[in-house]
A and B are shown apart, each in its own frame.
Chain A
Amino acid sequence: MEIFGVPLQALMSQLLLGLVNGSFYAMLSLGLAVIFGLLNVINFSHGALYMVGAFLAYIGVTQFGLNYWMMLVLAPLAVGLLGIVIERSMLRWLYKLDHLYGLLLTFGLTLLLEGVFRSFYGVSGQTLDVPDALAGATDLGFMILPNYRGWVVGASLSVCLATWFVIEKTRLGAYLRAGTENPKLVEAFGVNVPMMVMLTYGFGVALAGLAGVLAAPVINVTPLMGSNLIIVVFAVVVIGGMGSILGSIVTGLGLGVIEGLTRVFYPEGSEVVVFVVMVIVLMLRPAGLFGKEK
């Protein structure tokens, strides 16, 4: 069967690849959105922390004999802790300043982290095997689904939806939403806002670390893998609307799929399609698809 002259199998596999990429976009932009909302910091080091997550998984499995599933838990925890250290020791001094300072600091951290990993592992890239339980593929009839890719999409969607649920539907989420609007008043009600800010940053970057672990078996683990991704993720955040939770999830997945489809129908455009969408969205809705005008 063909659609517009493209075999269905090829179309479906590009769609799936788009969904996989979209899952990473969604997880990373979700973390960025949560952090920007509460801390007002544009966390440029998000990509580098995603890279650290992937490397930790690689190191844990190849050098410490741990398995993928342990690293799926340990690496995000470690990245989250690293985030907490960064927040406590550096970021919190910048909250009263312009966004630019947070951006510059986290940009510097990115260079630092990438430099450290480059000096140990070079730039050629490492590979991590797909865990045995998820090796192989399943024939769905209309397409062959590599099990690991299905797992990536399912796992990141679950994490994104769980995060959305906590933020929009629970009491903790109400603190976060209120803290985003007026942190001083929330503090005056007796909520320990500085602690909440610290944990939010830790959680946001832990999401990046988790995305890194999920990505490690399907991509080349290199010190620059985060930099390659972060620019697209920033575009996703801008398109979705700065600080919008649902916006970043939907936009991340959507743009992954759009990218995948472009790769089928007009491969030359697949690298830039996200930015074309960004330009169009910014012209029509400057606050982003899900953002609120200020």
Chain B
Amino acid sequence: MSAALEISNLQAWYGESHVLHGISLSVQPGEVVALLGRNGAGRTTTLRAIMGLTGRRSGSIKINGSEAIGLPTHKIAHLGVGYCPEERGIFASLSTEENLMLPPVLASSKGAAAGMSIAEIYAMFPNLQERRNSQGTRLSGGEQQMLAVARILRTGARLLLLDEISEGLAPVIVQALARMITTLKEKGYTIVMVEQNFRFAAPLADRFYVIEHGQIVETIASADLNARMPVLTELLGV
């Protein structure tokens, strides 16, 4: 079985500036992986590069075995990827339910399975059901974050790229999001998350990649986490 995500020697540019300098990583189906690092290290850019949202890219990005480096952005999603951007990207001109229904259901190729039904999603996020007719951006920060994740669960994407989902949210919401990740993991989703909040990622991820200056400088399995804590502390400056 091929890896859900296999990146090798990924380089990416924003205009003239060279941002990623050869990222390589591999994520097996069902794994949860966290990309750690300081601000500006290239974690968000890694996710954006996977989606084809940076400028020029080179190297290889295999999603469920298919090469994505040369594909236009709209075709990458159809390899079975759901992307939740750091700024959440809730649309102000759409209601909550329209936001939820916006991403098209992906063609059921090898990467995509049947997505969650609306009923399942509302069962998981009851707030969204209550506020389904509100303007998307009228929701609270936590509700917007849940909406941003919920809408990619409907599409059948099995590989989720989640950028800083715990950022700026109240502890009780962060706990709810952690439970959500656990549930998604149990359901077999593959998750790559970028996290500033190490404590949020620590109990959830199977593996941690530390990114610095657009390169992976450290790979730590969750079993080794305690032993490697001093290295991590130094790298992250926490």
Contacts and interface: CB of A to CB of B under 8 A. Distances in A.
Contacts of B93: 177-178, 180-181
B74 A193 contact: yes
Interface stretch (A27-35, A182-190, A208-216): A182-190
A62 interface: no
A164 interface: no
Contacts of B102: 174-175, 178, 186, 189
A191 interface: yes
Contacts of B73: 184, 187-188
A188 B91 contact: no
B94 A178 contact: yes
Given A175-B102, A188-B53, A190-B155, A181 B92 contact: yes
B208 interface: no
A189 B91 contact: no
Q: Which of A174, A178, A190, A193 counts the most chain B CB atoms within 10 A?
A: A190
Contact of A190 (B53, B78, B85, B98): B78
A264 to B, nearest CB: 39
B51 interface: yes
B103 A177 contact: no
Interface string B50-88: 011100000000000000000011111110000101000
A190 B74 contact: yes
Main secondary structure of the interface of B (DSSP, over half): loop
A189 B94 contact: no
Q: Which of A178, A180, A185, A194 counts the most chain B CB atoms within 10 A?
A: A185
Interface residues on A, range: 10 to 19
B89 interface: yes
A194 B103 CA distance: 16
Nearest to A176: B93
B104 interface: yes
Contacts of A9: none
A92 to B, nearest CB: 13
A178 B151 CA distance: 14
Contacts of B152: 189
A189 B115 CA distance: 14
A192 interface: yes
B74 A177 contact: no
B101 interface: yes
B77 A188 contact: yes
Contact of B85 (A171, A177, A181, A185): A185
B106 interface: yes
A219 B85 CA distance: 52
B104 A191 contact: yes
B92 A189 contact: no
Contacts of B94: 174, 177-178
Nearest to A167: B93
A108 B73 CA distance: 32
B139 to A, nearest CB: 16
Interface string B90-133: 01111000100111101000000000000000000000000000
Contact of B155 (A181, A185, A189, A193): A189
A181 B92 CA distance: 8
21 contacts: A174-B94, A177-B91, A177-B93, A178-B91, A180-B93, A182-B89, A184-B73, A185-B85, A187-B72, A187-B73, A188-B53, A188-B74, A188-B76, A190-B75, A190-B78, A190-B103, A190-B106, A191-B74, A191-B103, A191-B104, A194-B74
Interface of A: 171, 174-175, 177-178, 180-182, 184-194
Nearest 7 CB-CB pairings of A with B: A190-B77, A189-B103, A177-B93, A187-B73, A185-B89, A178-B91, A187-B74
Interface of B: 51-53, 72-78, 83, 85, 89, 91-94, 98, 101-104, 106, 152, 155
